[in-house]
Structure 1
Amino acid sequence: MSLEVINGHLYDYPKYYDLVFGSDWKAEFDFVQDCCKKFVKKPVKRIFEPACGTGRLMYKLADAGFEVAGNDLNPKAVEFCNKRLEKRGHAPTAEVGDMSDFTVKKKFDAAFNMINSFRHLTTEKQAVGHLKCVAEAIKQGGIFILGLHLNPADVGDDYEAEEEWSARRGHLQVNTRLWSMEYHPKTRTELIGFTYDVYTPSKQFRIEDTTTFRCYTRKHMQQLIKKVPEWELVETYDFHYDIDDPIVVDDDTEDVVYILRKK
């Protein structure tokens, strides 16, 4: 049976987005806390998430006793995040805002941006702005946990990538596919296609969307971090999120979590 197709922004469907990207939260949740304990000398009480989306980790950290806040460009995601925080007895601290151009009223002890949200910033100016804004929002000695996929150094015009996975919660199931549609080495941008196949007891449909990511190699990230001297790189990990097993990033490494500390 063919699915009804809806052409829309995935981020406008926070319930489905949260299921797809929020089911596997525990390893990241533990890792954020482990990093705070290992790399910040003072107790971490306040944590910020730029590009927080549905706040899949924010509300878990709030439940654990942290003061949390975040921002995101999508109003529907922010509303979803705040309603969930309020439902669990927390302040609705997510705001609509640009992760490359924001300020905070009171500085935080740590920040995190775990999987590729950073890559939505498609220019070097925006990327630098992001690192500078986060640095300004963090106390001296605080950390920023930044996770993203890198491209191998020898990637060419024929670069292709594809992922598929499923997530289920109760009677709701979403099958997700994402793939590289176009890669432009000169601009370091990649057009990504997304589909959500959504199955509920009463209906089935597909949401189709595209988004553009900026591409980074190991060298690109090294150069970017140097442009924002407020940060020092203290450690690197992969997406296994094992605090006792840091990695050495080479030209073939693809999944990296950078631990940056505010000087």
Structure 2
Amino acid sequence: MPYSQAVDCYDYPQYWDLSFRDETPTECDFFEAAFEQFGEGKFRRVLDLGCGGGRNVVEMAARGFEVIGLDNNDVSLKYLTKRLKRRGLEAEILNADMSDFQIEPPLDAALCTFNTFRHLVSEKDALNHLRSVAQSLRPGGLYILGFHIIPLDAHPDCHERWTAQHGKTKVTTTLKVVRFSRAERREVLRFNLHVRKGDEVLRLKTEYPYRLYTGDEFRSLLRKVPEFEIREVYDFWYEIDYPVPFDHELSDAVFVLQKKDDA
């Protein structure tokens, strides 16, 4: 069976989220550890940006947080609504553009991991996103932002494959860079999802554009949002006791940003 040629993998949140489900407990443990280590006051009200099918929304709600899931994909949000109902959990679901939103009352924390931020392919959208987050956070609140930094000596070719399984459903995800331009600060990633449910096989293919960032380019962007300061930097191992340098070798970056008290 050939791969579909006109499919948005985000329209299949049950399979997309399954691809990353093994990361969920580790991520959410890290979020809670960061709240404890860097936060000021009690952390309860949390926004998950680009939440998709809501793997982190569901997990954080199960841990007792008041969670808002924001995304602009109706299919994913409908799936999340059913998922919460099935688990007997509550969360607020918001269909909005992550480059233009405001949340009231103010948030204690916002979360955005696994390159969702890089879907904002223009400087304007990325800047508006950071400003929207800053406006929605209370002073002392945290923004945990994870995405790939592209080192200057990085090879443009990239190919990854991993498999996740839950019950009788097995998803093998293949990621490949199909276009890379430093001049345009743009790369296009192709995702192939091979889904097997018993004897049933489904093959999905999607290409998404992502914005490229070097460390210096992200520093430059962040300077335009003076409400934020970097409290610490980590990698995708999510080990709260082992921060990493924000240098030119950094690639898998998780930034703990804090809204300044006087902002």
Query: Same fold, TM exceeding 0.5?
Result: yes
Percent same amino acid at aligned positions? 36
Write out per-residue CA displacement over residues 124-152 of structure 1, whole angstroms, 9 at most, x where no aligned residue.
Answer: 10110110001111100000000001111
Name the amino acid aligned to 2:59: K
Write out per-residue CA displacement over residues 171-208 of structure 1, whole angstroms, 9 at most, x where no aligned residue.
Answer: 11111101110111121000111100111113112101
In structure 2, the residue matched to 1:49 is 48
| Alpha-carbon shift at residue 46 of structure 1 (Å) | 0.6
Structure 1 residue 146 corresponds to structure 2 residue 145: yes
Cα pair 1:29 1:57 within 8 Å, conserved: yes
In structure 1, the residue matched to 2:108 is 109
Cα pair 1:143 1:260 within 8 Å, conserved: yes
Q: Is the partner of 2:125 in helix, strand or coil?
A: helix
Cα pair 1:100 1:130 within 8 Å, conserved: yes
Aligned residues: 259
Superposition pairs for residues 73-92 of structure 1, below 5 Å?
Answer: 73-92=72-91
In structure 2, the residue matched to 1:243 is 240
Q: Is the partner of 1:140 in helix, strand or coil?
A: strand
Compute the TM-score of the two structures, normalised by the length of structure 1.
0.95
In structure 1, the residue matched to 2:3 is 5
In structure 1, the residue matched to 2:206 is 209
Cα pair 1:62 1:68 within 8 Å, conserved: yes
Write out per-residue CA displacement over residues 28-55 of structure 1, whole angstroms, 9 at most, x where no aligned residue.
Answer: 0100000011111201011111111111
For residues 65 and 214 of structure 2, what CA distance do their matches in structure 1 show? Answer: 34
Superposition pairs for residues 32-181 of structure 1, below 5 Å?
Answer: 32-155=31-154, 159-181=156-178
- Identify unmatched segments of 5+ residues in structure 2: none
- Identify unmatched segments of 5+ residues in structure 1: none
For residues 152 and 209 of structure 2, what CA distance do their matches in structure 1 show? Answer: 20
Cα pair 2:169 2:195 within 8 Å, conserved: yes
In structure 2, the residue matched to 1:27 is 26
For residues 22 and 97 of structure 1, what CA distance do their matches in structure 2 show? Answer: 24
Write out per-residue CA displacement over residues 233-253 of structure 1, whole angstroms, 9 at most, x where no aligned residue.
Answer: 110001111111111022121
Cα pair 2:168 2:198 within 8 Å, conserved: yes
Cα pair 2:46 2:65 within 8 Å, conserved: yes
C-alpha distance 131-65 of structure 1, shift in aligned 2 (>3 A): same
Cα pair 2:162 2:173 within 8 Å, conserved: yes
For residues 218 and 4 of structure 1, what CA distance do their matches in structure 2 show? Answer: 39
For residues 13 and 120 of structure 2, what CA distance do their matches in structure 1 show? Answer: 20
Name the amino acid aligned to 2:95: V
For residues 5 and 182 of structure 1, what CA distance do their matches in structure 2 show? Answer: 19
Q: Is the partner of 1:182 in helix, strand or coil?
A: strand
| Alpha-carbon shift at residue 4 of structure 1 (Å) | 4.0
Q: Is the partner of 1:100 in helix, strand or coil?
A: coil
For residues 236 and 226 of structure 1, what CA distance do their matches in structure 2 show? Answer: 16
Aligned-CA RMSD value: 1.2
For residues 81 and 205 of structure 1, what CA distance do their matches in structure 2 show? Answer: 21
Cα pair 2:69 2:91 within 8 Å, conserved: no
Cα pair 2:163 2:170 within 8 Å, conserved: yes
Cα pair 2:25 2:59 within 8 Å, conserved: no
